[in-house]
Amino acid sequence: MTSKLEQLRSMTTVVADTGDIEAVTRLKPVDCTTNPTIVLKALGTPMFADAVKEAITWGKTQNGGSDAVLSAVADRLAISVGAALANIVPGRVSTEVDADLSFDTEASIAKARGIIAAYKERGIERDRILIKLASTWEGIKAAEVLQTEGIDCNLTLLFSKAQAIACADAKVFLISPFVGRILDWYKKSTGEDYTAETDPGVISVRQIYNYYKANGIETIVMGASFRNAGEIEALAGCDRLTISPALLDELDKDQGKLERKLSPDNITEDPFQPIDEKSFRWMLNEDAMATEKLAEGIRSFAKDLVALRTMVKKELAAA
């Protein structure tokens, strides 16, 4: 019997949610996803010591420690992590637009274009990169523009069907509906424990997957933010799943049988629902979990972005 990880690979594209070069080399995912938390953690390892030194040296040539320079150096470091991953995986690497731009469509578009240009300078073309944007209305509208320019997007911090519908309307390349954070909210809210089959995060992704397949929507569904292997097994067959190295290792050691749970051949009817800004905001507002977790996620990523820029400021001052 092959491991559950190998069985999963036969029905789902496996993506690693990490900046750990050793883990990516060992586990051989197709794609990698990053975020400010992952980038900050990766830059603290010896693997990226030279990249930090190069970025700080470059920053010193940009005349000082202004906010613009700090942001530019932080971007350079995030690209360094992404480029290292792109040199290992055969597929895509997701790089995130600054969380503090989550409600600014034009600034998000400009930042995304800059990220793509920075990768190109390193010989990495846009077809190897996914631009990550928060699934706010403004982030989705930014993605809609970027997609028309051939810049594929990964809409993250997605907790509701309303967000998924808006992303489909915008024809985004991929969405990352979160599982574990939804479970966290419901466990705290209800005080109950959940099985893999009753897990609200699992149910949410299954509903979004069904809606997309029932309506011929080509946007890729990539489940994300897992708390345990049971959640992953409950979504076996989803288009893609982005998984931490620890859970990938757990699945690799498990020789049990993995049953396919999602398939485009087993879909129930779910009528197409176009959505405009007014209905999007109302539907999101009516979903307390999605509203709270979206705001919390943006704050968390913004906090780590500030930590990265603070690290850059200290390094520039010491150089």
Residues catalogued as catalytic: 132
Distance CA(202)–CA(197), nearest Å, equals 7
Task: Report which DSSP code applies to 236.
Answer: T
CB atoms within 10 A of CB 63: 8
Tokens of residue 261, six digits = 């749970």
- Residue 304, Cβ density class (10 Å: 0-12 exposed, 13-18 middle, ≥19 buried): middle
d(Cα 182, Cα 202) in Å, to the nearest integer? 9
Count of C-beta atoms within a 10 Å radius of residue 197: 11
Structure tokens at 60: 């010193």
Rounded (5°) CA angle 237-240-245: 110
CA distances from 306 to 71, 228, 301, 316 (A): 9, 29, 9, 15
φ/ψ of residue 13, rounded to 5: -75, 120
For residues 3 and 249, give the distance between their C-alpha atoms in angstroms, rounded to a whole number: 10
196-201 contacts at long range (C-beta below 8 A, 24 or more positions apart): 196/228, 196/230, 196/231, 196/233, 196/234, 197/234, 199/230, 199/231, 199/234, 200/289, 201/225, 201/231
